[in-house]
Amino acid sequence: MSESRENRRSEILKAACKEFSENGYDSTKMEQIAKRVGIGKSTIYEYFPSKNELLKASCEWIFDNILFDVANLMKENIPFAEKITRYIKYICEILNSVGNGMIILYGKTDSVQILKNNANMFHVKLLDIIEQAVCMATENGEVRQDIKSRNVAKIITFMPSPIVCEEIKKGNSDAIDDMISILINGFSK
């Protein structure tokens, strides 16, 4: 695919993600996406034969970008606790910007399945990236060796919850630091 065609495809995907997140899948019209990009609706169909295909590509595109960013973050030469803090803030920033619209599918079977399939693949890949970082932290002596790295990765992966995101929105970094400390040091005395 030529560079200009790839750029146009990316513009359409960005616009689709914004429309889906602001209006929900069912309420989003291809005309709205085209208008946001400044192209005709028929141009979108040159890249994506249907709205479902556009949803699928949008999910893949946004998830791939997130995975790329998280993988790079986990490779940084910083303490493991700092990696976790940055990961949580990054994911919460995304969750806060996307809002609920992207997940409001109003029971459309095809669209729900597309989102579910993409989300499942995303979570597996995200767990793999986080688990690799946990293994590195274990080798560096930052994490106990007697715990399963996959279980630690699961805890870290799902820490960016709506409650945690709200704390970050409020600027309550002490709460995040305390949670990371508890995670790293444990609950027991």
Phi-psi region of 171 (alpha: psi -120 to 50; beta: other; left: phi over 0): left
pLDDT tens across 79-102, in order? Answer: 999 999 999 999 998 887 765 444
Q: Looking at residue 29, what is its pLDDT?
A: 93
What's the CATH code, domain 51-185?
A: 1.10.357.10
Closest CA to 64 of 129, 4, 15: 129
Q: Could you write out the DSSP letters of every residue in 45-96?
A: HHH-SSHHHHHHHHHHHHHHHHHHHHHHHHHSSS-HHHHHHHHHHHHHHHHH
Backbone angles phi, psi at 79, to 5 degrees: -60, 150
User: Which residues of the chain have a pLDDT value below 50?
Assistant: 100-106
Check: CB of residue 184 under 8 Å from CB of residue 81.
yes
Closest CA to 61 of 18, 92, 99, 26: 18
Separation between Cα atoms, residue 94 and residue 147, nearest integer Å: 30
Query: Residue 52 corresponds to which tokens in the numbers above?
Result: 């479902």
CA atoms within 13 A on the CB side of 150: 3
Instruction: Count Cβ atoms within 10 A of the Cβ of residue 80 and give its class: 0-12 exposed, 13-18 middle, 19 or more buried.
Output: buried
Closest CA to 153 of 166, 141, 137, 177: 137
Helical axes 80-98 vs 3-23, angle rounded to 10°: 70
Q: Looking at residue 105, what is its pLDDT?
A: 46
Torsion of Cα atoms, 153 then 158 then 163 then 167, to 10°: 50
pLDDT tens across 164-173, in order? Answer: 888 888 888 8
Q: Looking at residue 99, what is its pLDDT?
A: 59
Separation between Cα atoms, residue 75 and residue 21, nearest integer Å: 30
